[in-house]
Structure 1
């Protein structure tokens, strides 16, 4: 699941008996991550199976010098594939964190090779826009607050961006209601 909402993070588990009280009461907290279609275990199996299939054409070459000519190229292909998938995993470690209270909406984007980026605005003035067509991608989702506009969930599928938009609209409507 690429979007995980914690709708009542101010409450502690029932067993502990604890409860958090503060003037910055957390209404919603979400973690948005990209989809991972191939788990690490599957990645290792893929490389092992690929290596096995690449060795099959070398069986007739056993005992000849041609084997030693072909072997480095096949090993290089497996290593290159392994490196590229590993790089993809590192790039997939990015995530966005949304924190919503009555006083602010904060979005923090954590990327593996860059500094984290933060954006904060008053939830009353935040405008959520979704461009069905005409944006860089289908269902382009942006948040605008103050003078700055940010893209949200760039790594999500179009359907997931629509779902995130609806969930965030409901959360913002709750945040705009007066505190009791």
Structure 2
């Protein structure tokens, strides 16, 4: 790993949106359990007790989805632009780090939009290589990030 002695022209750390913290997950699960228990008790008293198992399965699946979502927020991407290189450091939610390096003079940003003019993908292209970045960002964040990075690349190329 080499240390850059020069000051970066642009640096951004991209992180996924964190909608719920641990307390939020607990509150959602408590409310879900209460709301699932009400029909569960009714169905159990009516003799349709297998439905209680399906309601429990719904609660368990929701808990699994929220837990998986919480673990995904530990990942991030760091984009740093120096006069002679564009460095992307991608850290997975499990902590595995991957680095990519582009020459800023050969790098082009491609922004893909949907039919409603929302940004869906940002792709860095340089000769034969391409890299999709910021996949976890929402369309507005993708748009502002692509604009900021594009402006920084333009300034470096001048």
**TM band (smaller chain):** 0.7 to 0.9
Structure with more relative contact order (C-alpha pairs < 8 Å, separation 6 or more): 2
| Aligned twin of 2:19 | 37
SS in 1 for 2:20: coil
Unaligned stretches of 5+ in structure 1? 1-21
Higher deviation after alignment, 35-44 or 93-102: 35-44
Structure 2 residue aligned with 1:151: 132
Q: Which has the larger radius of gyration?
A: 1
- The answer for unaligned runs of 5 or more in structure 2 is none
TM-fit CA distance, 1:117: 2.5
Give the deviation of 1:80 after TM superposition: 2.4
Contact 2:122 2:133 (C-alpha < 8 Å) held by counterparts = yes
1:58–1:67: 8 Å Cα contact kept in structure 2?
no
**How big is the shift at 1:115?**
3.9
2:112 is aligned to 131
CA-atom RMSD, angstroms? 3.1
Residue 48 of structure 1: aligned partner: 30
Describe how 1:72-83 pairs up with structure 2 within 5 A.
73-83=54-64
| TM superposition score normalised by structure 2 | 0.76
TM value normalised by structure 1: 0.68
- 1:164 paired with 2:145, answer yes
